[in-house]
Amino acid sequence: MTSAETASCPVHQNFDPLEETYLADPYPTMSAVRAEVPVFYSPEVDMWVVTRYGDIESVFKDPGSYSASIGQRPVFPLTDEAREIVRGGFHATPVMSDCDPPRHTRIRKHNMKGFSARRTAVLEPKVWAKATELVDAIEPGRVDLVSAVTYPLPAYMIFTFIGFPDADMDMLKRWCGNRMLFSWGRPSPEEQKDIAGNMVRYWRYCEEFVADRAKNPRDDFTSDLVRIHRDDPEAVSLEEIVNVAYGLSFAGHETTTNYTSNIIRRLLTHRSQWEDVCADRELVTDAIEEGLRYDSSIIAWRRITTRPVTLGGVDIPEGGKIMLLLGAANRDPEVFHAPESFDIHRDDSRSHLAFGKGIHFCLGAALARMEARIVLELLAERAPGMTLVEEQEYTFPANISFRGPRRLLVDWPAAT
């Protein structure tokens, strides 16, 4: 018996967020279901899918009824073998995105210090320097902007911020790709086995890293947390710091790599808007917000009910798993004028829910916006004439939440 049979609610048999056409372009499906069955149960993912802006906002604003604890759990059941491997050496516990109050409130308070406007501003010259180095290295001709810029920049920034050595970047990125598939995708039993092994390695890496910083604190965010722990062990434990390093080392780059690739793609597709940005850099921030509304990098996020609720007129039992289709909310015609049009000149983009809302509002929003802004400013200055390679095929990692093209090919002009 599916969980939905315990309540009366529309059931959508054909909704599969891992199906090829949905991965290639989820927006037609999102807009169809939002109009026809705004809240429905999907047996494929065993979740209640919520599509309207107002319903999603009400979930974000009610953490007492909608727990975040499900946020990092595998969507699909793991094999016994994978579960056994994970149990043997992977001990992550909730600290941020999958944590509820009061623990979440205490831990987030200390993390906020690291992401304050002042701390983020201090990072700006470093983002400029790294982004300039990457853009300067591009040769005229055909180039993949993901591997050249949007992949290395956020990874370098967040790993340096945490304190991870630069040399470990590719290994960490690989493990993060594994983690995405493990928790938000549908890996085969064979893949699960390999990934489970890497999750254990990734976890040990974080443990050893924090143990080292506990002995030899340096000038990085992890060491700041270690100092807070030393002053008051009740404030944040070393085990919680391991979890924070593990969490940030994922949240801080996949999201921004994908987002920056998405906005570059949309601007180049809407050529006249790219030309507007090149002519007036003040428009970059508007472009960033419209990109977050129209084509963000987290298209779905999860919650689980702590009590029976009625959402959008549908009864959901306690323990009901909820999939919030942020991509659908951000194109809801109840909130956005002409929502299916990409338009950097619109005045309602900023209402998007791309970073969530309420107590879990994205901690890295300012950093993500800053990195994307700097990349766009640099590209507009150095290569206003670059063009998107029209015949390219975009592919996307198969998972329910994180969306961005694996490659983004452009023709980079010769310097004038």
Q: Which residues bind ligand HEM (CB under 6 A)?
A: 60, 68, 96-97, 108, 158, 247-248, 251-252, 255-256, 259, 296-298, 301, 354-356, 360, 362-364, 367-368
When the beta carbons of 196 and 245 are compared against ligand HEM, the nearer one is: 245
Rounded to a whole number of angstroms, the minimum distance from the CB of residue 103 to ligand HEM is 11
How far from chain centre, in Å, is Cα 298?
5
DSSP one-letter string for 273-316: HHHHHHH-TTHHHHHHHHHHHHS-SB--EEEEESS-EEETTEEE
When the beta carbons of 172 and 251 are compared against ligand HEM, the nearer one is: 251
Report the residue closest to ligand HEM, judged by CB: 364
When the beta carbons of 4 and 335 are compared against ligand HEM, the nearer one is: 335
On the CB side of 355, CA atoms within 13 Å amount to 20
Q: Measured between alpha carbons, how far is 261 from 407 in angstroms, rounded to an integer?
A: 8
When the beta carbons of 196 and 309 are compared against ligand HEM, the nearer one is: 309
What is the H or E stretch that residue 251 is in?
helix 238-251
Q: Measured between alpha carbons, how far is 90 from 415 in angstroms, rounded to an integer?
A: 50
- Kindly give, in sequence order, each residue whose CB lies less than 8 Å from that of residue 31, ignoring residues fewer than 6 positions away: 328, 331, 340
In 216-237, which residue ranges form alpha helices assigned H by DSSP?
A: 221-231
When the beta carbons of 135 and 367 are compared against ligand HEM, the nearer one is: 367
Query: CB of 397 within 8 A of CB of 177?
Result: yes
When the beta carbons of 312 and 364 are compared against ligand HEM, the nearer one is: 364
When the beta carbons of 97 and 349 are compared against ligand HEM, the nearer one is: 97
Which 8-state DSSP code applies to residue 141?
E
When the beta carbons of 209 and 301 are compared against ligand HEM, the nearer one is: 301
Residue 215 β-bridge partners = none
Residue 108 β-bridge partners = none
Closest to 173 measured CA to CA, from 161, 186, 156:
156
- Kindly give, in sequence order, each residue whose CB lies less than 8 Å from that of residue 321, ignoring residues fewer than 6 positions away: 3, 46, 47, 48, 70, 302, 303, 304
Q: Extract the tokens encoding 344.
A: 């950097």
